[in-house]
Amino acid sequence: MTFSLNEIEATAKRAARGAGYSWGVAEEAAKGTRWLCVHGFDGPANLVRLLDLQLALSADHTPNINESAWSGDGVLCPLVTGAYLSDCAGQLAKAPIKIQGISVPLLLLPYAGMVARALNSCVRISMDDLEAVTDGKELCAPGAVQLHADDVTIRLGGDLAMPRSQQARATPDKAAWSKLNDYAHRTYAPATDQSRLLGAGAGLADND
């Protein structure tokens, strides 16, 4: 079964929120998950890999940006790190950004894409021995999945020789999709008699 990208984005947003991220971070995670699907990656499966690590609730996974390389007290969260990367796009125009110890580094790519669009330039992302290049619209990246990267370097430049083909639909792994929905489910309020009665505003007759 294929899913619309809108379904992917809506579910990813709720799932990231359900896993404890703020709404703003969840919005970006959702757009990023969609972006990965467009470029032929299983965005939901990669997001679930991250959410399962439960990094949202501790500041240990937020980058300390005062060092020459961003690192955390624990492993870095790519959603929080990616959001900061996107926020300081201009910094990349001056010097490469180095990141040490990050989970599911693939999830950084959509943020690098936002930076590329903002700077109107290609951005090259080295993740240990893998390398990706994007201008925000197109992406060159190997299909291999890394659960972790020790060293990530993001710099301007690179060349989009063989961009990945773009997809209009997503076919997430069934188990991952189901798990993503479980995370999303955490944002739904359990129904009560009061909410059934009032929440949607029962009123005058609805069968006349």
Partner 1 sequence: MSRPDAHIARRSPDKVMRLSRLGSLHQCRLSFMRILTRRMASEGWQFTRPVFDIDGNGVGQAVYTAKGPERAYSLVAFAHDLPDEKRSDRVIADAWDATFALFDGVPSDEDIKRLSLNVPLQEAGRVSERELSLSRANRSVRLWTNVVDSLAAGRQPDLKHIRDVGYLMRTTAVYGSGKFGAADRELIAGRDEMHVPFQAEMLSVYLTRTFVRDLVQHMAKAKGRANSVSLDPGIARQLGIGNSTGLGMAPFIINHPILFNNWIMAREEAIARVRGVRTASADEIDTFLRVLNQSVISVDLWRSEHPVQIAKLAQLRLDLQLLNKHLSQQALEKDYPWNRLVEWSAAELSDEGQELVASLILEPYGDLVDGVAHCMADSNHDAFRIDGSMPVAEALSLLREGFAWAFELDWSDKANCARAWYVSEEKLEPRLGERFEEPISDYEQPLAPARDAVAAFLDLESWEPSDPIALFLLSHPEHRHTLRRAQMCRSAPYAEIRDNTISEAVMPIDMLRAKLSFFGATHFDPRSDRWVRICMYAGAPYPEELFPHNADYWVYPESAG
**What is the contact surface with partner 1 in residues (CB under 8 A)?**
1-7, 14, 21-25, 27-28, 31, 62-63, 65, 80, 83-84, 86-90, 114, 117-118, 168-169, 185, 187-192, 194-196, 198-204, 206-208
Between the alpha carbon of residue 42 and those of residues 3, 5, 193, the distances in Å are: 12, 12, 39
Query: Cβ closer to partner 1: 80 or 133?
Result: 80
Residue 134 burial class via C-beta count within 10 angstroms: exposed 0-12, middle 13-18, buried 19 and up: buried
Query: Cβ closer to partner 1: 147 or 186?
Result: 186
Query: What's the CA gap between 99 and 87, in Å, rounded?
Result: 15
User: For 21-150, where are the alpha helices, taking DSSP H only?
Assistant: 23-38, 43-51, 78-87, 89-94, 109-119
Q: At 108, which amino acid appears? A: L
Query: Cβ closer to partner 1: 66 or 68?
Result: 66
Query: Cβ closer to partner 1: 85 or 152?
Result: 85
Query: What's the CA gap between 46 and 176, in Å, rounded?
Result: 8
Query: Cβ closer to partner 1: 21 or 183?
Result: 21
Query: What's the CA gap between 57 and 168, in Å, rounded?
Result: 33
Query: What's the CA gap between 27 and 179, in Å, rounded?
Result: 19
Nearest to 5 by CA among 117, 185, 168, 156: 168
Query: Cβ closer to partner 1: 142 or 199?
Result: 199
Query: What's the CA gap between 141 and 123, in Å, rounded?
Result: 12
